[in-house]
Structure 1
Amino acid sequence: FDDGIRHSEFLLHGVTGSGKTEIYLRAIDAALARNRQALVLVPEIALTPQTVARFAGRFPGRVTVIHSELSTGERYDVWRLVRQGEFDIVIGPRSALFAPLARLGLIIIDEEHESSYKQNAEEWGSFTVFYDARAVATQLAAITQSALIMGSATPSMESYYAMQQGRLTLLEMPNRVLGHREHVAQEQVEVAPSPAASVPQDQPDHAQPTVYAELPPVEIVDMRQELRAGNRSIFSRSLSAELQTTLSAGEQAILFLNRRGTATFIMCRDCGAVSECPLCATPLTYHERAQTLICHHCNRRYPIPQTCPECDSKRIKFFGSGTQRVEEYVHQIVPQARVVRWDADSVARKGQHAAILREFVEQRADVMVGTQMIAKGLDLPMVTLVGVVAADVGLYLPDFRSSERTFQLLTQVAGRAGRSARGGRVVVQTYTPEHYAIQAAAQHDYAAFYARELLFREEHGYPPVQRMARLIFWHKNEAKAQAESERMALVLRRRAEGLLFRGDLDILGPAPAFFSRYRGYFRWQILLRAENPSALLAGLDIPFGWRIDIDPVSVL
């Protein structure tokens, strides 16, 4: 901004706790000084209160928020006030991108690697479109001549590849800053009570010298060895000991498992039948507190069977572990521990995000158990231990991004530890300790992961080396879903031959989607890999029932 605001795009790659938020604040300060406005995107509503508190503290009275938890009236009021120029900084998730900022000069996308920046329009009955907020922000920045900053400790493969191709300017922050030298300053993480709220002025102390901190050491525990040693619990001996030590010292711990519920499936021990959702054909998850089985796809609930519906056996067994089971186990080994759980089940009602975060920040809880929600940018200085209960969850899903997602989740959740002078440590439990994503995350080595993953993407022609389009067809009749998908694949192959696409295009499928049934519909898909798959689809007559996703964030 030294010579005026102009369109420029940056990738801010900083390790967890390196001070990326301070860079955002100073960039906003420069934009406001030039009578321009700023838009700050965060991946989850859950992150909004903590982000708002920090930004409103620096810019009191100039910050507002827009997100889906606001009522229709509240959203209109905020939209009207923004349009009238009452606020200069808008914070929110993906939808905040469309706030009517007349003097926009800066767009910030925090945690730019998060898949939630892509609007999922696949669900049947959806009347919206697939759009990627990162791509829209890039266009908006060009139209408004704004600066664009995309920040992350684990940039997406696409963004880092774009930087290497010269489309983004790299800004690096390789060192962690010791941001909390004394006890946690509560006002920095206080939840803003309303869209127009502000907290006391929080100007940076530039006179105070920067103190750097080490990233937390990571211990990888091979759970195969734990089994051989006779330990069949979900916690390794190391994690159990570290948890007890942490709580005895009056410090806090985060336990991460990217699965909700108490047991991930129930099965008959006589015939092997697994209880499934009749509409989605996926295993039902047992939730002990609700005493029910829940489908995590359509959210339908079913009673727990007393006997097997297939063979009438009473030998029904619960298998697997979810966040509720982890919570129960913490109470078994540390009965006095105060535990909060942060997952999609515990934050189903409005305001629960902020309430759970406030309870943990105010140290009214000792342990936070959660899914991927806890890996997203939270600044919790009293957390000195992070335990990853099962690092392998999601690693071997049939999706080309599985390794990338695993690396990002492990790196991000590990980054919640050691953000104060107390230091921190991380315990990662896994059955595949040799996997490159787990090894790179344990070493906090993004470059090593990127290099290895790019080789895989180049070998198979996956993004970012080539682009991809995903065509998904929904129908309540399985035979018709298959027939239409086969017909479309034939049309696409003939069209490719006519347009001389051969050699530059791969058409994969048709095949049933990984989740082949969803809410009573059968799903088949076709994948296109090419430099520009949209060219094959241009002008094509696409019947009702198809969903087209360009640059999908998942192919499951």
Structure 2
Amino acid sequence: MPFLRLALDVPLDRLFDYSVEAATAADLGRRAVVPFGSRRLVGVVMEVAEQAADAGIAIKPVEAVLDDLPALPAELLGLLRFCAAYYQHPIGQVVHTALPARFRDPSPFRVAEALRYQAADPAALREGLAARAVMQHRLAAMLERPVAEAELRAVSAGAWRIVQDWLAQGRVRALVQAPAAPVAAAGPALNAEQAAAVEAIGEACAGAAGGKFAAFLLHGITGSGKTEVYLNAIARVLAAGRQALVLVPEINLTPQLEARFRSRFPGVDIVGLTSGVADGERAAGWVRAARGEAALVLGTRLAAFTPLPRLGLIVVDEEHDASFKQQDGLRYSARDLAVYRARQAGVPVVLGSATPALESWHNAEAGRYRLLALRQRAVDGARPPSWRLVATRRQPLADGLHATTLAAIGERLARNEQSLVFINRRGYAPVMHCGECGWLAGCTRCSARLTVHLRERCLRCHHCGWEEALPAHCPGCGNSDLAPLGQGTQRLEQMLAQRFPHARVLRIDRDSMRRKGSFEAALEAVHDGRVDILIGTQMLAKGHDFPRLTLVAVVGADNGLHSADFRAGERLYAQLAQVAGRAGRAERPGEVLLQTDFPEHPLYAALMADDYAAFAAAESSERRRAGFPPFVHQAVLRADGFALAEAIAFLQRAIELAPEDAAVTLWDPVAAPMARLANRERAQLLVQSGARSRLQAFLAAWMAALRQLKAGKVRWSLDVDPLEV
């Protein structure tokens, strides 16, 4: 009797054997329902064996092998095994992290036939519409041809509801129809740099086997047309009958990018895979991709695991973004897995950014990646924004804004242009303060201050979510004259609305954009010219194109200079370069005002010169001397408990279990940068080596020993290639 070795969603680093009456290689990658203790679990078949791994235990039979989904291909199973080994995570949890949550349910999954929608009588549909019903006229024009539901939903939040009404009235009909052959709509003419980049990627995509592995670092200034390079390269891949995978860092960037892809590839089945997609819809999209029906998959980091039988190209947009690194559970980097998957599948991968991660830049300098540079803006006549540093040291400020900044905003209002005030702090103020005794409102659960949210009349922790009412008196001395210190988005919104009463002010941050569809509606208002002054956080820093926005004013950038994190300078440069790119993207010239107490800082000098290469060289030199990545490879063992001493004691025991290796350095356990989070005391232990292979071998042996260690009430985890140390 053969045995199936299954990956189950349990925290044990092993496969589990189950007997089955008959099995073949076709069962590999399929789901199977099995008993596990008192539970019924869904596992994935990783191996078929003639003998059980442990003959001394009773082997239970498989209840059912499910064939409702395409089996995970060998290439994807190999990717999952690599991921489990590299990030030292249990294989079962890796596999089930990669699958849509719906597939943990043992009930069969059925995908409805791919329906498309078309006007029964296009002329009659248009005739019945009101002249001012712009959205309905747009939908009627689309429905002259068969259109997929996802394409209709992408138009706006209410578009699908309109089409459903037309369906009920018989004005639109549903069709069972195979998608049309992928034909790309015409796009703007490429400049010489863009054309050269597309040609280089296209050469790697071509070939008898459908392409060859090549890693490209597409370094283009903001507004240089990196997306057009992606679109043209993808068009070649789709025309060759292959599939493309596009990864973006944040869910907020997906709808606008998806709309742009749909307009360029009408009729192509495009699947969007993000955490914002409902479980059933995500599962259906995953199945269409696995069957080869969906030609293009667009998603956030988890989409890196999507099965694509005809994969021809992978694109990672904004590859430097920290959102590509999962910070809990399976702590993987989607960018790094994308490169591994491209090598494994023998296809090219394009990593695009205006400010590449230093690791990627180092790989390009070492020849492992091919550098493709876009040094000019894609729109004719568009110029990079001019920079102006506004010295604020010992200067009077109006709720954080310098008189120069306020005057510049006033000038844009007079010219009917838009301004963006960028501050990466939500709320009204970062802290509540007592001037009598010096009390500062702190979170009782975290090593952090409580942020003042004046509109909601509360203090809120942005780390654990704790909230409490604004105090009427100081708990330390009873003083009733408490004051908010510093600036946040709410405070700037209030001040600017008072300063410019006739201006239309809009705040965009996580607090104001909580309702579904609110972010898309806000962006539409900006594009339509119904906003004069934008106030926003990093949600607005990248990927957005506002033609009338000509001024970006940056407040609070100096906070990034005070961090103890060795990556703080790299992150600050990237953030400021991205937000500066929102200004002057069309024919109107743009200006960036950066308020700072340190106008002489070399980071700001590099930004003003728009010289990322010089910044990267200086930063790399410092890291080489200090022994930081990318010149060493790191892992962090983290532990947390109800007392810091417990976490430190666990890490000390972990050191005793570490294998001897002169090429690997273990540092002493220390408290984490945020020592307390959600009532848990946290500590960490840094491990590093100059050789990645030696570090991996060390970690494999160490983790095998650590998993046998009784941790008690201490929770622990390993983070390989950490972004936070």
TM-score of the two chains, using structure 2 as the length reference: 0.68
Counterparts of residues 39-78 of structure 1 (less than 5 Å):
39-62=245-268, 63-78=270-285
Aligned pair partner of 1:283 in 444, 449, 452:
449
Is the 1:15–1:173 contact (alpha carbons within 8 Å) kept by the matching residues of 2?
yes
SS in structure 1 at match of 2:723: coil
1:15 matched to which residue of 2? 221
2:332 matched to which residue of 1? 131
Counterparts of residues 343-492 of structure 1 (less than 5 Å):
343-489=509-655, 491-492=657-658
1:223 matched to which residue of 2? 392
SS in structure 1 at match of 2:513: coil
1:181 matched to which residue of 2? none
Q: How big is each residue's C-alpha offset from its partner over 1:472-496, in whole Å with a ceiling of 9 and x where there is no partner?
A: 111112221232233334554xx4x
1:537 matched to which residue of 2? 699
CA distance in 2, matches of 1:368, 1:152: 24
Spell out structure 1 runs of 4+ moving beyond 6 A. Answer: none
Query: What is the deviation of 1:538?
Result: 2.2
1:155 matched to which residue of 2? 356
SS in structure 2 at match of 1:324: helix
CA distance in 1, matches of 2:336, 2:309: 20
CA distance in 1, matches of 2:483, 2:323: 35
Corresponding position: 1:214 with 2:380: no
SS in structure 1 at match of 2:589: coil
2:236 matched to which residue of 1? 30
Aligned pair partner of 1:319 in 463, 476, 485:
485
Supply the AA of the counterpart residue of 2:625: E
SS in structure 2 at match of 1:538: helix
SS in structure 2 at match of 1:109: strand
Is the 2:569–2:603 contact (alpha carbons within 8 Å) kept by the matching residues of 1?
yes
Q: How big is each residue's C-alpha offset from its partner over 1:399-434, in whole Å with a ceiling of 9 and x where there is no partner?
A: 110000110011110011111111111101111222
CA distance in 2, matches of 1:550, 1:21: 31
CA distance in 1, matches of 2:251, 2:651: 37
CA distance in 2, matches of 1:148, 1:321: 41
Supply the AA of the counterpart residue of 1:172: A
Supply the AA of the counterpart residue of 2:376: N
Supply the AA of the counterpart residue of 1:528: V
SS in structure 2 at match of 1:416: coil
Is the 1:158–1:463 contact (alpha carbons within 8 Å) kept by the matching residues of 2?
yes
Is the 2:381–2:586 contact (alpha carbons within 8 Å) kept by the matching residues of 1?
no
Corresponding position: 1:240 with 2:406: yes
CA distance in 2, matches of 1:536, 1:256: 44
CA distance in 1, matches of 2:235, 2:287: 24
SS in structure 2 at match of 1:177: coil
Aligned pair partner of 1:170 in 322, 347, 371:
371
Query: What is the deviation of 1:335?
Result: 1.3
After TM superposition, the structure 1 stretch with the greater mean CA deviation from structure 2, 418-427 or 367-376, is 367-376
CA distance in 1, matches of 2:481, 2:495: 24
Query: What is the deviation of 1:157?
Result: 0.2
- Aligned pair in 2 of structure 1 residues 486, 232: CA closer, same or farther (>3 Å)? farther
Query: What is the deviation of 1:100?
Result: 2.5
2:342 matched to which residue of 1? 141
- Aligned pair in 2 of structure 1 residues 233, 311: CA closer, same or farther (>3 Å)? closer
Query: What is the deviation of 1:343?
Result: 1.5
CA distance in 1, matches of 2:219, 2:447: 41
CA RMSD of aligned residues (A): 1.6
Query: What is the deviation of 1:109?
Result: 0.5
1:208 matched to which residue of 2? none
1:252 matched to which residue of 2? 418
- Aligned pair in 2 of structure 1 residues 442, 271: CA closer, same or farther (>3 Å)? same
SS in structure 2 at match of 1:131: coil
- Aligned pair in 2 of structure 1 residues 212, 551: CA closer, same or farther (>3 Å)? farther
Query: What is the deviation of 1:212?
Result: 5.1
Which is bigger in relative contact order (C-alpha 8 A, separation at least 6)? 1
Q: How big is each residue's C-alpha offset from its partner over 1:453-484, in whole Å with a ceiling of 9 and x where there is no partner?
A: 11110111111111111111111122212322
Is the 1:175–1:212 contact (alpha carbons within 8 Å) kept by the matching residues of 2?
no
Supply the AA of the counterpart residue of 2:668: G
SS in structure 1 at match of 2:215: strand
| Structure 1 alignment gaps of length 5 or more | 122-127, 179-210
SS in structure 2 at match of 1:57: helix
Supply the AA of the counterpart residue of 1:135: D
Is the 1:19–1:176 contact (alpha carbons within 8 Å) kept by the matching residues of 2?
yes
After TM superposition, the structure 1 stretch with the greater mean CA deviation from structure 2, 508-517 or 23-32, is 508-517
Corresponding position: 1:120 with 2:327: yes
CA distance in 1, matches of 2:459, 2:608: 35
After TM superposition, the structure 1 stretch with the greater mean CA deviation from structure 2, 525-534 or 466-475, is 525-534
CA distance in 2, matches of 1:64, 1:383: 31
Query: What is the deviation of 1:33?
Result: 1.6
CA distance in 1, matches of 2:344, 2:688: 29
Supply the AA of the counterpart residue of 2:673: F
- Aligned pair in 2 of structure 1 residues 318, 490: CA closer, same or farther (>3 Å)? farther
Query: What is the deviation of 1:312?
Result: 2.6
1:550 matched to which residue of 2? 720
CA distance in 2, matches of 1:247, 1:489: 62
2:464 matched to which residue of 1? 298
Is the 1:457–1:465 contact (alpha carbons within 8 Å) kept by the matching residues of 2?
yes
CA distance in 1, matches of 2:346, 2:568: 36
Is the 2:317–2:351 contact (alpha carbons within 8 Å) kept by the matching residues of 1?
yes
Corresponding position: 1:508 with 2:673: no
Query: What is the deviation of 1:57?
Result: 0.9
What is the percent sequence identity of the aligned residues? Answer: 41
CA distance in 2, matches of 1:546, 1:362: 50
Aligned pair partner of 2:314 in 82, 91, 107:
107
Is the 1:255–1:389 contact (alpha carbons within 8 Å) kept by the matching residues of 2?
yes
CA distance in 2, matches of 1:478, 1:486: 12
| Structure 2 alignment gaps of length 5 or more | 1-201
CA distance in 1, matches of 2:662, 2:318: 40
- Aligned pair in 2 of structure 1 residues 327, 489: CA closer, same or farther (>3 Å)? farther
Q: How big is each residue's C-alpha offset from its partner over 1:195-234, in whole Å with a ceiling of 9 and x where there is no partner?
A: xxxxxxxxxxxxxxxx35321100011111xx34x44541
Aligned length: 507
SS in structure 1 at match of 2:594: strand
Is the 1:6–1:145 contact (alpha carbons within 8 Å) kept by the matching residues of 2?
yes
Structure number, greater radius of gyration: 2
